[in-house]
Amino acid sequence: MGRPFILALAIALAAPAPATAQVAVYDTSDDLRRVPVPPVDRSRIPALVITGATLLDGRGGRPVPDAVIVMRGDRIFAAGPAATTPLPADIARNVDGRGLFAMPGLIDLHLHVTSQRGTDFGRYPDSDAAAAIRATALAASALNAGITAVRDPATIGDVALRLKEAVQRGIVPGPRIFWAGAMIATTGGHGDEATSTATGRFKPEVPNSRTVTADGPWGWRAAVRGQIRRQTDWIKVSAPFAREEIVAAVDEAHREGLKVMIDSYGDYTDWAIEAGVDSVEHTLAMTDRTVPLLAAHKTGFVPTLTAFHNLLVRGYPPAGIVPGAFYYTFSRRYPLDFQDNLRHVLAAHRAGVRIGVGTDIPFENETLYPSAYFEELGHLHAAGLSNKDVLASATRVGADILGMGDRLGTIEPGKIADLILLGADPEAELTALRDLRYVVSGGKLTRHAQAEP
């Protein structure tokens, strides 16, 4: 051994040992970014308790009659039969759930929160301020319908992020929001056309904060990085694109722990699935390969059947969109076939593909939402999903696609306390979801249908 080594060893042995080891203690944020946050001791928070309800916990088992659900702060601490789930001594509020049905809060995986508009577009122009007003109203209507979590797949400016923060802080009522920032598109692709979708009208030459245009694989990587910098929960991309571009975007997002959703059609969808995209939106021009690829790659699927049913049968009159098809749109040059859409959903379901619920109502949200959500559930049922399957898509499966399956989608200890109480059994009839009595969002009772004593 050399003299320097012996000297270094002597110094190390002479140094005093630390009194206690220092280990960082933290939780992570309740979104896809999973950033470190200070830990919270919820065990001392007085309990909100629901007693007597029939529990549909979302895990696929049989209903539990006469259940007890114990919540402290924003977390569920206990849920099960009254006979084996003791009531805590420090109950702050006990909700009598006798005759009611408790289930997880509903999830909408495709809700553009800034798209709500009045019938006279010219007098209510797009701006960040107008979008924020629309988004705030839409968020309240969603929560009042029992929809406790939404994914925003492209938004004006940073409105969805600021609304997410406002809801978290209790400034405004609304569901928890997971946002995708701006959609990434190629030059001239969907989102970057010179004309409006389905009208052929030229868009005004104003900045478009809902779309980021990028070309080439390094351009798409840079676009993804830009959205990550904006603190997005998801990355959204649209077709058309080159194979190298979608591969680059997915790789960049996944390396940073974020997921990718895609608005696509035809072979572009198949390329995206092969590249590892996490969620396919819509049933647009699906090929014979699409469903098998969805199953093989375990890709989430959000059909948004209602959006295209509306386009076929009613259009969006205030926006000048007539029923029938995507008229005059370069990036939508294919027909719509609703029965074909239903067949693809059934094939995906039979193949074991995870199917989530998303509405994608681009206009008239102030009149079409939240009814559109329940119409979407009806379309999934018409496609061949059972009532129980539809409810799973709206809760547990939706949470899994969202990337929040460890915190949302079921009623069990450790999960976020997002749940609803209904006046009838939704497994027997989906219309029971409209018989809403209570909403618990983040452990807070946010709606009751009748006066409390």
Do residues 202 and 341 share a domain?
yes
Q: Domain of residue 120: give its range.
A: 106-402
Residue 9: both structure tokens together: 């060893």
Long-range contacts (CB closer than 8 Å, 24 or more residues apart) made by 126-129: 126/156, 128/156, 128/157, 128/159, 128/209
Domain assignment present for 34: no
Whether residues 231 and 285 share a domain: the answer is yes
| The total number of structural domains that make up the chain | 2
Cα(178)–Cα(31) distance, rounded to whole angstroms? 7
- Tell me which residue of 95, 62, 65 sits closest to 427, measured CA to CA: 62
pLDDT of 24 > 80? The answer is no
Residue-wise pLDDT tens digits, 378-424: 999 999 999 999 999 999 999 999 999 999 999 999 999 999 999 99
pTM score, whole prediction:
0.92
Over residues 269-298, the pLDDT tens digits come to 999 999 999 999 999 999 999 999 999 999
Angle at the Cα of 238 from the Cα atoms of 226 and 168, rounded to 5 degrees: 55
C-alpha to C-alpha distance for 150 and 148, rounded to whole angstroms = 7
Q: List the structure tokens of 291.
A: 């469903």
Contact status, residue 283 vs residue 338, Cβ threshold 8 Å: no
- Structure confidence at residue 125 as a pLDDT band (50, 70, 90): low
Scanning the structure block, which residue is given the tokens 């289930």?
A: 103
* Residue 27 token pair: 């939780």
25 inside domain: no
- Let me know if residue 349 belongs to a domain: yes
- Inter-axis angle of helices 387-394 and 371-383, to 10 degrees? 130
Last residue of a domain, one of 365, 384, 402: 402
Task: Tell me the pLDDT of the chain averaged across its residues.
Answer: 90
Integer Rg of the chain from CA: 24
Neighbours of 215 (CB within 10 A): 16
Give yes or no: residues 69 and 204 share one domain: no
**Residue 273: half-sphere exposure toward Cβ, Cα within 13 Å:** 25
Structure token pair of residue 30: 């309740």
Reported as a pLDDT band with limits 50, 70 and 90, residue 6 is: very low
The maximal CA–CA distance of the chain, rounded, in angstroms, is 88
* Nearest C-alpha neighbor of 150 from the set 167, 130, 132: 167
Last residue of a domain, one of 367, 384, 402: 402
CA-to-CA distance for 383 and 294, rounded, in angstroms?
Answer: 17
- Token pair for residue 162? 């600021």
For position 425, which CATH number holds? Answer: 2.30.40.10
pLDDT tens, position by position, 74-122: 999 999 999 999 999 999 999 999 999 999 999 999 999 987 666 666 5
Based on the domain organization, do 298 and 430 belong to the same domain?
Answer: no
Q: Say whether both 381 and 418 belong to one domain.
A: no
